[in-house]
Amino acid sequence: LRRNPGEHEFHQAVEEVLGSLGPVVRRHPHYLEASVIERLCEPERQIIFRVPWTDDAGQVQINRGFRVEYSSVLGPYKGGLRFHPSVMLGTVKFLGFEQIFKNALTGMPIGGGKGGSDFDPKGRSDAEVMRFCQSFMTELYRHLGEYTDVPAGDIGVGGREIGYLFGQYKRITNRYEAGVLTGKGLAWGGSRARTEATGFGTVYFAREMARHAGLSLEGTRVVVSGSGNVAIYAIAKVTELGGTVVACSDSSGYVVDEAGIDLELLREVKEERRERISAYAARRPGATFVAAGSIWDVPCDVALPCATQNELDEAAARQLVSHGLEIVAEGANMPCTPGAVRVFREAGVLFGPGKAANAGGVATSALEMQQNASRDSWTFEHTDARLGQIMTSIHERVVTTAEDYGRPGDYVFGANASGFTQVADAMLAMGVI
């Protein structure tokens, strides 16, 4: 705490993982002897830089850029970039820390990292976003590389931003190094199903949780928070599997649509026009927009928080439980507060933590890297099938680990223990580095 003052989200993420590890270090005391935990609390490298750029009015703007290269024992640093005004060092460290264990759970050869900026793309023109991205990459490029550090998107960073970032990397380095960024467009080295992967993967994971408990997603009533990349494709997959998504949101409020969210309209509003979620309700008969209050007041069987960290607190969890909630799978990173997780656990709600449930995005990024390395391009069906297999195997791994430690059904423990063990073993094998 003294070494990382004010980094509340980082403390929260570290406490969440360390709180699980008692039984693991009792079984493997050599992890403690080799100070594995202390080492994991300190990122391998933290980069903070100035990002100057000029807005459309000719005014110079200054933002702060970050890249936390957290752990490279399993492979090159891998994790997204977030552009949001709330981003600070503690945010990037929390996300980077989570990413280490998530990436381990995928079984792919990728280390953990995360980055971003306090730049707010909302309301900015394409030209402003481009100039910002070019300036951001003008510093970041020297830290990246196919074998070093491979960023992707996150909140506020989608295909448009990755395009500008990749263009500037290519220009500065004079190298068409496709494997340096993931989430690229299909015409220039991207992978089919990457856009859909985090949302689809979260629902595949929820389906496995349901199946394991003798339940099904078919016929369920589902609430998905957010309406960005993860949320949209979670809604698409739930609908395809026979569930009904009755509500989604953005930071301005939420919409309730008892007939089921109209995916085409949602994509038009959010992806094409970049409008607020109220525009969905304005154009959809029967849908209502709620500006104040919490989306978690809407009763559901399955909750998929897909917006941002700490968006679902203890009070919201109690409300959901009182309405008969059965399953939560985190599409976002750390969206449920520790109090909310406790409520779910006590109520016997199946709870899938983000580092397992939303790992499909980064896993498909690793599949994009494979395609880039082999100069190949797979079909959507093949890539989606690989994603499905990866999510099933993460579920299996988490469940088996929890059972092995006598904690059946404890997905939080299973994910933390399994991810940590793989990383710790690799650290031990490589000596004190």
Does 341 interact with ligand NDP (rule: CB under 6 A)? no
Whether 278 has a binding-site annotation, put simply, is no
User: Nearer to ligand NDP by C-beta: 39 or 160?
Assistant: 160
User: Nearer to ligand NDP by C-beta: 154 or 326?
Assistant: 154
Backbone angles phi, psi at 351, to 5 degrees: -125, 115
Q: What Rg do the C-alpha atoms of the chain give, in angstroms?
A: 21
User: Nearer to ligand NDP by C-beta: 39 or 276?
Assistant: 276
Q: Which two tokens stand for residue 279?
A: 């525009």
Q: Which H or E run includes 390? A: helix 380-404
Contacts 24+ apart (CB under 8 A), 423-428: 423/40, 423/71, 423/73, 423/74, 423/100, 423/101, 423/104, 424/28, 424/31, 424/36, 424/40, 426/73, 426/74, 427/34, 427/36, 427/39, 427/40, 427/73, 428/30, 428/31, 428/34, 428/36
114 a catalytic residue: yes
From candidates 96, 112, 331, 352, binder to ligand NDP by CB under 6 A: 331
The catalytic residue among 114, 184, 237, 355 is 114
Does 117 interact with ligand NDP (rule: CB under 6 A)? no
From candidates 16, 69, 154, 368, binder to ligand NDP by CB under 6 A: 154
Site string for ligand NDP, 236-255 (x = CB under 6 A): --------------xxx---
Whether 319 has a binding-site annotation, put simply, is no
C-alpha distances (whole Å) from 221 to each of 217, 277, 299, 424 are 9, 20, 8, 40
From candidates 17, 24, 155, 281, binder to ligand NDP by CB under 6 A: 155
Does 226 interact with ligand NDP (rule: CB under 6 A)? yes
Asked if 21 contacts 416 with a C-beta cutoff of 8 angstroms, the reply is yes
Asked if 423 contacts 430 with a C-beta cutoff of 8 angstroms, the reply is no
User: Nearer to ligand NDP by C-beta: 155 or 398?
Assistant: 155
Which residues are annotated as catalytic? 114
Binding-site sequence positions? 78, 99, 102, 153, 198, 229, 365
Residues in touch with ligand NDP (CB under 6 A): 153-156, 198, 226-231, 250-252, 306-308, 311, 331-333, 358, 361
Binding-site sequence positions for substrate? 78, 99, 102, 153, 365
